[in-house]
Amino acid sequence: MKRNIGWLLFLWIFLLAATDSQGQEQELSVTPDADSVLFVNARWEKRLLHLGGIMLRQCAFTDSSLFNSNQFVSVLEVRSSFRFDIVADTALVLTSDFVEYADALAGINGSFFAWDAPWKSVNYLRIDQNELATNRIPKEGLRTFRQSGSIAVSDKGKLSIYAVPDHVMLTDDQDRWEKGLAAEDVISSGPVLRSAGKDVPVIENQFNKARHPRTALGIRRGGRILLVVVDGRADEAAGMTMEELQRIMRWLRSHDAINLDGGGSSTLCVRRNSRKPVEVANHP
């Protein structure tokens, strides 16, 4: 039976259970500052959603304890033995409805959109080798920081994160970089937060400096996938700046990580199997 895990705004990620010979990974890494120690040593609520390796971890940081603010963080850890896919729709669909329709196990929103864009996506989008949308480039003629990376899925369901090289960011390449990725499905997003185990400098602008609800995707060195949602715009959850999001992705041991947009639509949906109802795990 197919076991799917979704992710969405216009995309979801499905997964198919398979064998996996990877050893157990450390859950979190510690770096020597107060916020990281608090984050790593917090009492995370854990829910095993699938014996094949899907674990939901959530924590509420109260009393302005994390980054001098209240925060609520949800992390869905998925073993690489699951098969992923990216799916799009031209209509506005709730994440929970997408998960239900797709017979999926989970879903998270991602990437950037506009109502007047092809398939509502302002970023490059390719599904089943069919190009559905191109990067919407501003008048300056260069792609934006929100198009500085891509999520790609192979025909075998392996998910990867790619950072656009600096020289491509400085040229009007007409999406040739995305077109050259050897993948069945591709969606551009950004900014890239971590690449090859290192933080990527975050551009200073209002979108990155302000605290917002955030969604992000990370991949650990051993292949485990992290779907991360940070709640925001509430007394109990302030949301995070892009640098704060980058820091927690590092503490979660992401080897590669990318921002998926977030905002008011930041939603993580889960369920134990396709016969169970879909639950919204966070607080959109």
Burial code (b: 16+ CB inside 10 Å, e: under 16) for 81-107 equals bbbbbbbbeeeeebbbebbbebebbbb
- Whether the per-residue pLDDT at 164 is higher than 60: the answer is yes
- Does residue 7 or residue 66 have the better pLDDT? 66
> CB of 112 within 8 A of CB of 120?
no
Residue 3 within any structural domain of the chain: no
Residue range of the domain that includes 79:
34-280
The answer to whether residue 9 is domain-embedded is no
Structural domain includes residue 215: yes
- pLDDT-derived band at 32 (thresholds 50, 70, 90) equals low
What value does the mean pLDDT take over residues 75-91? 86
E strands present in the chain: 45-50, 54-66, 69-78, 106-108, 125-127, 130-133, 149-153, 159-163, 185-189, 192-195, 198-199, 214-220, 225-230, 254-259, 268-270, 279-280
The whole-number pLDDT of residue 257 equals: 99
Q: Is residue 80 part of a domain?
A: yes
Distance CA 148, CA 193 (A): 10
pLDDT at 15: 46
Q: Tell me if 20 is assigned to some domain.
A: no
Which residues on neighbouring strands pair with residue 45, listed in sequence order? 58
- CA 30 vs. chain centroid, Å, equals 22
Residue 136 domain flag: yes
- Higher per-residue pLDDT: 186 or 119: 186
pLDDT of 228-268, one tens digit each? 999 999 999 999 999 999 999 999 999 999 999 888 889 89
Residue 103 within a domain? yes
Contacts of 128 (CB under 8 A, 6+ apart): 184, 185
Residue 243 inside a domain? The answer is yes
Check: CB of residue 192 under 8 Å from CB of residue 161.
yes
Mapped onto helix, strand or coil, the DSSP state of residue 38 is helix
Phi, psi angles (nearest 5°) of residue 102 = -85, 0
| DSSP assignment of 85-149 | -----SS---HHHHHHHTTBSEEE--S-B-TTSGGGBSS-EEETTEEEE-----TTSS--GGGSE
The count of domains in the chain is 1
Distance CA 123, CA 117 (A): 9
pLDDT at 20: 40
Least confident of 2-6, 42-46, 67-71: 2-6
Q: Which of 15-19, 65-69, 265-269 has the lowest mean pLDDT?
A: 15-19
Length of the chain (residues): 284
The C-alpha atoms of residue 30 and residue 63 are separated, in whole angstroms, by: 22
